[in-house]
């Protein structure tokens, strides 16, 4: 993995909320680390290359890689002890998968009980081989979730020094605000891309901006679908983005990340790649902003019509 970081290219840092954690504006997502087939040394190298780009925040979940992704990352941290102090670790809990790693699970379901939240956080600490998480998120809203019980679990983990900050993922505005009234939340990690703009119009982003809370963004490149030909609407959107990229001498991905980060709610997008060059493209997006004309050109191409 020979990669030379462009001179001066580094991700800025951003507090997610007034009392929230300071994270790198670009976050390295570890969802697919189990598919990367990296040796421990290759994982260490990738982590070090991310940190050299200022990408110091790494996003995990207990279920990633069939409950095995955190352990792969933890092996790298154990093999290179100085790395942990240079980064922020994010993880999630609340989903129970059917998995050979969890033979006691009989159906995929959600569990936001205090007992599960605490047990899951403690297991993430063991797998990541660290004493503390910087940020723990409830992975998805649970029809059986009790806001007071979740707040109690968060309080217990915070008071024990096991987790510094807490948030949620995939929550609606009302769900976020209901839990936030009981315990201060640092973020809501949601799906958003030019191919999925719902949070911009269903009050998710408006509500977070009103509270001064920055969202984290998963699947900013629509799971790679932005790059796939064959759909006329996506083809047109891709052409609009590529023209803006060519005119500004940016990469296609950089323009997409810049488009997302221009929102006033201050989103922190996740990468999902093992390619450090692709991480660098995301970081490069922090160095420029789009004109309003170009920003709306992407929105209109994404929606298939001009604004009202």
pLDDT recorded at residue 2: 64
119: in domain: yes
What domain range includes position 48?
Answer: 13-224
283: in domain: no
Four-residue CA torsion sign, 193, 196, 201, 202: negative
Angle between helices 69-79 and 40-52 (to 10 degrees): 80
286: in domain: no
262: in domain: no
DSSP state of 61: -
Query: Where in the sequence numbering do the catalytic residues fall?
Result: 64
C-alpha to C-alpha distance for 171 and 190, rounded to whole angstroms: 8
Exposed, middle or buried by CB within 10 Å (0-12, 13-18, 19+), for 125? buried
Element (H, E) at 48: helix 40-52
245: in domain: no
Which residues, 6 or more positions from 113, have their beta carbon under 8 angstroms from its beta carbon? 149
25: in domain: yes
Domain count for the chain:
1
181: in domain: yes
2: in domain: no
- Phi and psi, residue 148, nearest 5°: -65, -40
Averaged in consecutive runs of 10 residues, what is the pLDDT profile of the chain (308 residues)? Answer: 76 98 99 98 98 99 97 99 98 96 96 99 99 99 99 99 99 99 99 98 99 99 91 95 98 99 99 98 99 99 94
CATH of the domain at 181: 3.20.20.100
pLDDT recorded at residue 129: 98
pLDDT recorded at residue 72: 99
pLDDT recorded at residue 218: 99
């Amino acid at each position: 993995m020979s990669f030379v970081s462009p001179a001066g290219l580094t991700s800025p840092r951003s507090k997610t909320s007034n009392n929230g954690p300071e994270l790198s504006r670009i976050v390295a997502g570890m969802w697919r680390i189990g598919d990367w087939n990296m040796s421990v040394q290759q994982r260490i190298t990738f982590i070090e290359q991310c940190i050299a780009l200022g990408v110091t925040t790494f996003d995990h979940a207990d279920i990633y890689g069939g409950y095995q992704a955190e352990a792969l990352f933890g092996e790298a941290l154990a093999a290179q002890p100085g790395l942990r102090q240079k980064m922020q670790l994010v993880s999630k809990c609340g989903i129970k998968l059917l998995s050979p790693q969890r033979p006691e699970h009989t159906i995929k379901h959600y569990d936001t009980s205090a007992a599960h939240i605490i047990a899951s956080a403690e297991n993430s600490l063991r797998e990541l081989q660290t004493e503390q998480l910087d940020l723990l998120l409830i992975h998805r809203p649970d029809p059986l979730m009790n806001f007071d019980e979740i707040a109690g679990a968060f309080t217990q983990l915070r008071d024990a020094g096991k987790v510094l900050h807490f948030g949620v993922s995939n929550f609606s505005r009302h769900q976020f605000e209901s839990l936030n009234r009981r315990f201060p939340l640092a973020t809501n990690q949601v799906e958003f891309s030019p191919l999925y703009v719902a949070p911009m119009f269903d009050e998710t982003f408006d509500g977070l901006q009103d509270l001064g809370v920055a969202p984290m963004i998963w699947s900013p490149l629509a799971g790679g679908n932005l790059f796939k030909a064959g759909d006329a609407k996506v083809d047109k959107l891709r052409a609009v983005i590529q023209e803006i990229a060519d005119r500004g001498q940016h990469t296609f991905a950089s323009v997409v990340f810049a488009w997302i980060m221009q929102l006033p709610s201050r989103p922190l997008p996740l990468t999902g790649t093992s390619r450090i060059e692709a991480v660098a493209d995301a970081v490069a997006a922090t160095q420029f902003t789009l004109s309003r004309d170009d920003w709306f050109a992407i929105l209109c191409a994404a929606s298939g019509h001009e604004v009202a």
